[in-house]
Amino acid sequence: MRAQPAASHYIGGAYVESPEGSAFDSIYPATGEVIARLHGADDATIEAAIAAAREGQKLWAAMPATERGRVLRRAADILRQQNRELSELETLDTGKPLQETLIADAASGADCLEYFGNLAATLTGEHIDLGGSFAYTRREPLGICVGIGAWNYPIQIACWKAAPALACGNAMIFKPSEVTPLSALKLAEALTEAGVPAGVFNVVQGAGDVGAKLVSHPAVAKVSVTGSVPTGRKVAGLAGSSLKHLTLELGGKSPLILFDDCDLESAVSAAINANFYSTGQVCSNGTRVFVQKGLKDAFLKRLAERTANAVMGDPLDEAVNLGPLVSKAQYDKVLGYMKLGQDEGARLVCGGKAAQVPQFPQGLFVEPTVFADVQDSMRIAREEIFGPVMCVLDFETEEEVITRANATEFGLGAGVFTRDIQRAHRVIGQLQAGTCWINTYNLTPIQMPFGGFKSSGIGRENGHAAIAHYSQIKSVYVEMGSTEAAY
């Protein structure tokens, strides 16, 4: 098998197997080839990870923050040195084209390790003058954090959780998606090579049942999950019953609003990036593209012309723009929505069916699809599809589009295209979304907090904001005089 790891799990600084755990395969979605076979964690493996994390965290938290930061920055360097092989692995595991994985996956993970490595030594408490006496605060780690990943950006998600957690002095047990289990193990190797003590970052494999056991474990202080809203609800219930700290990065159905006065080519680029990048498997995608009436015809014409130029094919060929979907389940789901859109009466502008790539007869390829004349009530406009399916909706006024853009349970991303600077900020100020863009879409630099409003999530990843979600404040009152009592 092309990508078989030394063993399924990485615990206490070493590969560990759990032959009794249920076996599952990692499949290259372009060919259907099994590239690795792993085993889910059994209870003993989970307990071993907890024990390793407990020991590792004590050592790591006792290390000066400057040293922790240095180690994380070294890990960033290692990821950068290994970028090509990590990108190829990510392409095999997810089917995403190498053209993307070379710049968006391990590279983003390295940026994150570097950013939080730099922040580590700056994390301080405050001094509070009480007039003679005083108080101070200490920013302390939470302890053992559990990270649970989705399959669309496997190593990026692992880094976005591990880097702030480790910068704050925590240990992490990370469970990748069972669909894409491989690259988190490489991150664990890189962290060990960089000098992270054994047990500080552990990888445990398995499906939702393993995730639920980790979330429920009494030794775990914090849980951070990237996944769908239904999974987020289940995890929040489990974490709530034992009062754990919680970060949820969930799904979306984000609006991208194009006003008549915007730059047409940039708007078309944004709509393409917001719907077809990673074959549409991006949580913050702007899948409801609201186009003002005067721009509609020109927009749809250029969109169709440019979409026809997309190159679909061998994901390992750097000239290829579009790879297959990640799994048969996702393929069936997306094709179902392509049919549903036509049944619901939306106008198919392009795509709408499975794509044939002769070199890859078993590949899970679908055509990039655009529906026009979409109504707000249609299911394709309300439900997260997580595939290359763009819904174009018409609008006339600013007030109308704000109301319609907000009429969803989700609130992950939102974008506005206009040359009117006041309108851009006025509209963004009224959109119910955690991550917004003006005259671009889906750029997520590590410095910028990322997360959702409403059902799209709780808490934030990245930026200084993430620190609050991986640390706790201890307040200390220091009495400089004597202490009195009433009797």
How big is the CA angle at 316 (ends 227 and 77), to the nearest 5 degrees? 70
- Which residue type occupies 54? R
The answer to whether 150 is annotated as binding is yes
Q: Is 215 in the site for ligand NAD (CB under 6 A)?
A: yes
Q: Using an 8 Å Cβ cutoff, are 466 and 460 in contact?
A: yes
Judged by CB under 6 A, the number of residues near ligand NAD is 30
Question: Which of 330, 418 has the CB closer to ligand NAD?
Answer: 330
222 catalytic residue (yes or no): no
Q: Which pair of structure tokens corresponds to residue 108?
A: 């983003």
Q: Which of 96, 161, 222, 296 is catalytic?
A: 161
Name the one range near ligand NAD by CB under 6 A: 97-105, 144-152, 263-271, 356-364.
144-152
Question: Strand, helix or coil at 64?
Answer: coil
Rounded-to-integer distance, Cα 109 and Cα 111, Å: 5
Long-range contacts of 350-357 (CB under 8 A, 24+ apart): 350/304, 350/307, 350/308, 351/307, 351/388, 351/389, 355/312, 357/312, 357/313
Q: Which of residues 219-278 bind ligand NAD (CB under 6 A)?
A: 225-228, 231, 234-235, 249-252
Q: Using an 8 Å Cβ cutoff, are 172 and 145 in contact?
A: yes
161 catalytic residue (yes or no): yes
Nearest distance from C-beta of residue 384 to ligand NAD, angstroms:
5
Q: Is 286 in the site for ligand NAD (CB under 6 A)?
A: no
Q: Is 40 in the site for ligand NAD (CB under 6 A)?
A: no
DSSP string, 139-203: EEE-SEEEEE--SSSHHHHHHHHHHHHHHTT-EEEEE--TTS-SHHHHHHHHHHHHTPPTTSEEE
Beta bridge partners of 171: 144
Rg (CA), the chain: 24
350 catalytic residue (yes or no): no
Q: Is 90 in the site for ligand NAD (CB under 6 A)?
A: no
The answer to whether 93 is annotated as binding is yes
Q: Is 299 in the site for ligand NAD (CB under 6 A)?
A: no
Q: Is 449 in the site for ligand NAD (CB under 6 A)?
A: no
Question: Which of 349, 412 has the CB closer to ligand NAD?
Answer: 412
The answer to whether 243 is annotated as binding is yes
Q: Are strands 127-129 and 134-141 parallel, antiparallel or unpaired?
A: antiparallel
Residues with active-site annotation: 161, 249, 283, 461
Annotated binding site: 26-27, 93, 149-151, 175-178, 243, 251, 283, 384, 454, 457
Annotated binding site for NAD(+): 149-151, 175-178, 251, 283, 384
Residue ranges binding ligand NAD (CB under 6 A): 148-152, 175, 177-178, 207-208, 211-212, 215, 225-228, 231, 234-235, 249-252, 283, 384, 386, 412, 452, 457
Annotated binding site for K(+): 26-27, 93, 243, 454, 457
